[in-house]
Structure 1
Amino acid sequence: MKNKDFDVVIVGGSFAGLSAAMALGRAIRDVLIIDAGKPCNRQTPHSHNFLTQDGSTPDEISALAKSQVLAYPTVQFESDTVIDVTGMNNDFIVKTAEGKIYTTRKILFSTGVKDILPEIAGFAESWGISVIHCPYCHGYEYKGQNTGILANDDMAIDFVKLIGNWTQKLTLFTNGKAIFDKKIFDKISIPGFQIVEKEVAELIHESGHLKVIVFKDGSVQEIDALYARVPFIQHTDVPVKMGCELTGMGHIKVDEFGKTSISGIYAAGDNTSRMRSVSSAVAAGTAAGAFLNHEMIAE
Structure 2
Amino acid sequence: MIDTVIIGGGPAGLSAALVLGRAKRSVYLFDDANPRNQVTQHSHGYLTQDGVTPTQFRQKALADLRKYPSIKWGQQRVETIKKQDDGTFRVNSEGTEVIARKILLATGLKDVLPDVPNIHDFYGTSLYPCPFCDGWELRDQPLIVISENDHASMFTTLITNWSRDVVLATNGKSVLSAEQKASFASRNIQVVEEKIQALEGKDGQLKQIQFSNGRVIERAGGFITSTLTQASLLADRLGCKENENGGYDTDGFGQTTVSGVYATGDMTMNQAPQLLLAAADGSMAAAGIVKALAVEDFEMN
Structure 2 residue matching 1:47: 3-state secondary structure: coil
Point out the structure with the larger helix share: 2
Aligned counterpart in structure 2 of residue 219 of structure 1, from 215, 218, 230: 215
1:107–1:265 contact (8 Å) kept in structure 2: yes
**Aligned residue in 1 for 2:299:** none
SS in 1 for 2:268: coil
Give distance in 1, aligned partners of 2:118 and 2:148.
Answer: 20
CA distance in 2, matches of 1:292, 1:279: 20
The correspondence of residues 191-206 of structure 1 with structure 2, limited to 5 A, is: 191-206=187-202
Displacement of 1:128: 2.4
CA distance in 2, matches of 1:63, 1:289: 21
Shift of 1:190: 7.2
**Equivalent in 131, 134, 149 of residue 135 of structure 1:** 131
For 1:73-118, what per-residue CA distance to the aligned partner results, in whole angstroms no more than 9, with x for missing partners?
000000100011001574100011x232110000001111111123
For 2:146, give the aligned amino acid.
L
CA distance in 1, matches of 2:136, 2:175: 30
Q: In structure 2, how many angstroms separate the alpha carbons of the residues matched to 1:7 and 1:207?
A: 46
C-alpha distance in structure 2 between counterparts of 1:57 and 1:178, whole Å: 37
Among candidates 160, 167, 182, match of residue 164 of structure 1: 160
Q: Could you tell me whether the CA contact under 8 Å between 2:104 and 2:264 is conserved in 1?
A: yes
Partner of 1:287: 284
Q: What whole-Å deviation, never above 9, does each CA across 1:130-182 have from its counterpart, x for those lacking one?
A: 22111111111101111111124443221122111110000110111524313
Q: CA deviation at 1:253?
A: 2.1
Q: Distance in 1 between the 2:244 and 2:187 partners? A: 37
State the 1:33 CA deviation: 0.4
Look up the equivalent residue of 2:273 and give its one-letter code. R
Matched, 1:59 2:55: yes
CA contact under 8 A between 2:8 and 2:106: conserved in structure 1? yes
Query: Any gaps of 5 or more consecutive residues in structure 2?
Result: 297-301
Give the 3-state SS of the residue equivalent to 1:56 in structure 2: coil
Larger deviation: 237-246 or 218-227? 218-227
TM-score by length of 2: 0.93
> Residue 239 in 1 paired to residue 235 in 2?
yes
Task: State the number of aligned residues.
Answer: 294
Structure 1 residues 180, 275: closer, same or farther in 2, change over 3 A? same
The alignment yields a C-alpha RMSD, in angstroms, of 1.7
Letter in 1 for 2:90: I
Q: Which moved more, 1:48-57 or 1:209-218?
A: 209-218
Q: Does 1:99 align with 2:130?
A: no
| 1:189 Cα deviation after fit | 8.2
Say which SS state the counterpart of residue 266 (structure 2) adopts. Answer: coil
Partner of 1:125: 121
**Aligned residues of 2:104 and 2:261 also touching (Cα < 8 A):** yes
Deviations 1:172-216 (A, max 9, x none): 101115243132242348753111111002222323221111222
CA 1:189/1:162 → structure 2, altered by over 3 Å: closer, same or farther? farther
